[in-house]
Amino acid sequence: MFVPCVDPAPELTGFTLLMPAVSVGNVGQLAIDLIISTLNMFKVGYFYTDCLVPMVGNNPYATTEENAAELSINAEVYSLPSRKLVALQLRSIFIKYKSKPFCEKLLSWIKSSNLARVIVLSSSHSYHCNDLQLRSTPFRYLLTPSMQRSVQNKIKSLNWEEMEKSQCVPGIEDSEFCVRIPGGGITKALYEESCSREIPVAILLKFVSEGDNIPDALGLVEYLNEWLQIIKPCVDAPTVSALPWKIPSSWRFLFGSGLPPALF
């Protein structure tokens, strides 16, 4: 599944994998974009899979004319060995009935690569929130049992709120309670499969609505940053609340290339 594009092939033992779920508002993917761009992570390979809709495009993190013509595809892996971080970016949707096989292949690669842990950035429809969720923070987390053992104390110190369980069949009073993530794409399937395989996985998500989801992505990476400290606030300006996330060059065309001047 994983095809390296550097020689020698990257050694990922002990690394933390950051990846998105293709979910409502594409918030997880935008958040991974910010991380890759800010940390100047470099591409080490890609996933050769028939589970995603094929796509190809220009380098989304281009900084010069020379590297702008580099091609990118639907599933690429970026690394930062100095921080023991690796990021998987997904850029297209799943082919029907292929999301589960993708999760299984992905988790097999995670095990064979000896990755230390996985953090999935996701989102869920805000209109499914109950009254309690509407009155509280829009961020939630989920930990698999094997992840709980290693990070539970740290998470508790952050005063984060765990994703609540709700009725598996809404509106049915005697329905069992389970974790529901409407609009979360593969998030729930990946979580449940990771639990059964005893893989340390954390899900970080935000309740959002479709629209301009850049603020949601910025909020999600700052939520993650509370835990991992990917970047730190500027010491010279401690009053500045916004962290210096680097916006990728591809975001200039997030809503299209604008109206052609010839129309006017």
Q: Which residues pair with 203 in a beta bridge?
A: 120, 142
Taking Cα atoms as reference points, which of 111, 107, 139, 105 lies closest to residue 123?
Answer: 139
Domains located in the chain, CATH noted: 14-232+243-253 (3.40.50.10900)
pLDDT at 238 over 60: no
Taking Cα atoms as reference points, which of 103, 110, 129 lies closest to residue 188?
Answer: 103
Residue 28 pLDDT class (50, 70, 90 cuts): very high
Per-residue pLDDT tens over the stretch 183-227: 999 999 999 999 999 999 999 999 999 989 999 999 999 999 999
d(CA 209, CA 189): 22
pLDDT at 76 over 60: yes
d(CA 45, CA 151): 29
d(CA 258, CA 16): 38
Taking Cα atoms as reference points, which of 138, 107, 108 lies closest to residue 201?
Answer: 107
pLDDT at 77 over 80: yes
Q: Which residues pair with 256 in a beta bridge?
A: 254
Q: Which residues contact residue 196 at a Cβ distance below 8 angstroms, ignoring those fewer than 6 apart? A: none
Do the beta carbons of residue 53 and residue 93 sit within 8 Å? yes
Amino acid, single-letter form, for residue 7: D
Do the beta carbons of residue 224 and residue 230 sit within 8 Å? yes
pLDDT at 27 over 90: yes
Alpha-carbon separation of residue 75 from 2, 49, 122, 143 (angstroms): 10, 8, 16, 24
Taking Cα atoms as reference points, which of 92, 93, 154, 143 lies closest to residue 118?
Answer: 143
- Please state, rounded to an integer, the average pLDDT across all residues of the chain: 89
Per-residue pLDDT tens over the stretch 84-133: 999 999 999 999 999 999 999 999 999 999 999 999 999 999 998 888 88
| pLDDT top residue among 174 and 138 | 138
Compute φ and ψ for 218, nearest 5 degrees: -65, -40
Per-residue pLDDT tens over the stretch 90-102: 999 999 999 999 9
Alpha-carbon separation of residue 191 from 39, 120, 249 (angstroms): 27, 9, 32
First to last CA, the chain: 49
Q: Residue 152 has what pLDDT?
A: 84
What average pLDDT does range 58-85 have in this prediction?
Answer: 91
